[in-house]
Amino acid sequence: MFKIDKSDNRIERLAPRSFLELGFKERQHLQEWIANKPDALGEDLLIIQKEFAGFSDTSERLDLLAIDKQGSLVIIENKLDDTGRDVTWQALKYASYCARLTKDDIKNVYQSYLDRHAAGLSAEEQLCSFLEEDEYQDVALNKGVTQRIMLVAANFRKEVTSTVLWLSSFKLRIQCFKVTPFAQGDDLFLTVEQIIPTKDAEDFMIGLAAKAQDEVNELEAEKTRYVLRREFWSKLLSAMNSRSQLFRSISPGPKTWISVGSGVSGIIFSFVIARGSARVEVYINTARADLNHQLLEQLRARRDHFETRFGGSLTWDDMEGSKPCRILCETPGNYFDKSEWSGMIDFMVDAMIRLHECFRDEIPIAVNSLR
């Protein structure tokens, strides 16, 4: 910090001081400053309690409890010249305790604070005013996992900042504010600087954390899908192998399809599952796109013959604009719902046996006639 000397057109550096050497104390001074001027932390906050100890089975006290403009609880932990090693763990405990507080709990906590510090004021009225709601019934407080943490100190240890940055990647809203006292003669000054995330980069970091968490969630969901698919294919292959040798050499896998060759390179018989359907198909994907579609047209010219032999209608799919094409039969089905598996598997096994019978001999003949 610099002092501007307007008469000499110069600036003079003010040396930072420690709270200890200036005789300031954590609860008596720093806590009181923030409690009475919470917007020093960069936003409108409503302090609803100091030294809050309303936790079951513990006598621990958090320094300040506040509400932001979205009705989320904000846990504010103050340290003087050094955060110590355990401040993040301490704040996380408090956040977990506060996550249980109901709307009525919060109103009562705030009312007890007002009764001590601003007698005569109503918690309901003050909450409505702060959150800009006409009726208390419309006030939303502490919804879901929205609790926030603010750490305030003169110095942050590396183990604290690294932990905070890591926690932020899990969408936990946690901020670090560096407070520095200055003195010149009898004049005292204080700076409050948000250092994690830096104010300019806050939106970016929140977006980055959301993206990272979405990717983690997607990986976990993918693992679940893989396990589910393997289990489904295991049951289907067991049913198939009891009636046909066609898929005898195939093992369950994590993909949405399993297949066997037709005897012609690039043409396979496949079982396919999707979120809304289950199907069997002849998938035609040789090296030549023109040959694929010519083959489909040649077979489709005998559509009545094949569908009579199959015992039902088939879909002759050009897959317009794509190199491959296919002949398929499908039924509605959701492989995420195990109660549907039995019907899906019965349909797929029966349809695959009939589909293979229809085309296993015809495909090589048709391909040779086009070459």
Q: CATH 3.30.1460 spans which residues of the chain? A: 218-370
Region 186-206: what's the mean pLDDT? 77
Nearest to 335 by CA among 279, 259, 280, 278: 278
User: What are the Cα distances from residue 118, in Å, to 48, 111, 123, 133, 271?
Assistant: 11, 9, 10, 21, 72
Tell whether the model's pLDDT for residue 56 goes beyond 70.
no
Which pLDDT band holds residue 303 (cuts at 50, 70, 90)? very high
Q: CATH 3.40.1350.10 spans which residues of the chain? A: 2-196
Tell whether the model's pLDDT for residue 339 goes beyond 80.
yes
Tokens of 331: 């039924």
| pLDDT on residue 145 | 87
Region 64-78: what's the mean pLDDT? 96
| pLDDT on residue 222 | 63
User: What are the Cα distances from residue 335, in Å, to 220, 221, 223, 232, 279?
Assistant: 18, 14, 15, 8, 12
Least confident of 168-172, 350-354, 358-362: 168-172
Which pLDDT band holds residue 328 (cuts at 50, 70, 90)? very high
| pLDDT on residue 76 | 97
| pLDDT on residue 83 | 85
Tokens of 255: 């993909």
- Number of Cβ atoms within 10 Å of the Cβ of 70: 11
Q: At what angle do helices 341-359 and 202-241 cross, to 10 degrees?
A: 60
What percent of the chain shows pLDDT beyond 90?
75
- Considering the chain, what is the average pLDDT of its residues? 90
Residue 322, φ and ψ in degrees, nearest 5: -110, 160
Looking at the domain covering 218-370, what would its CATH class be?
alpha beta
Which pLDDT band holds residue 84 (cuts at 50, 70, 90)? confident
- Identify the sign of the CA torsion 359, 362, 363, 364: positive
| pLDDT on residue 93 | 93
Residue 282, φ and ψ in degrees, nearest 5: -95, 115
Region 214-242: what's the mean pLDDT? 82
Nearest to 33 by CA among 175, 187, 174, 152: 152
- Identify the sign of the CA torsion 103, 104, 105, 107: positive
| pLDDT on residue 371 | 72
Looking at the domain covering 2-196, what would its CATH class be?
alpha beta
| pLDDT on residue 92 | 94
Nearest to 235 by CA among 261, 271, 268, 262: 271
pLDDT tens profile 277-291: 999 999 999 999 999
DSSP symbol at 14: P
| pLDDT on residue 224 | 80
DSSP per position, 231-249:
HHHHHHHHHHHTT-STTTT
Do the Cβ atoms of 82 and 105 come closer than 8 Å?
Answer: no
Residue 186, φ and ψ in degrees, nearest 5: -90, -5
Which pLDDT band holds residue 206 (cuts at 50, 70, 90)? low
Region 140-156: what's the mean pLDDT? 93
DSSP per position, 113-125:
HHHHHSTT--HHH
pTM above 0.75, yes or no: no
| pLDDT on residue 197 | 85
Do the Cβ atoms of 124 and 137 come closer than 8 Å?
Answer: no
Cβ contacts of residue 207 below 8 Å, gap of 6+? none
Tell whether the model's pLDDT for residue 218 goes beyond 90.
no
What percent of the chain shows pLDDT beyond 70?
93
| pLDDT on residue 3 | 86
Which pLDDT band holds residue 200 (cuts at 50, 70, 90)? low
Question: What is the Cα–Cα distance from 214 to 208, expressed in whole angstroms?
Answer: 10
Question: What is the Cα–Cα distance from 278 to 256, expressed in whole angstroms?
Answer: 10
DSSP per position, 153-199:
ES---HHHHHHHHHHHTTT--EEEEEEEEEEETTEEEEEEEEEETBG
Tell whether the model's pLDDT for residue 25 goes beyond 70.
yes
Tell whether the model's pLDDT for residue 248 goes beyond 70.
yes
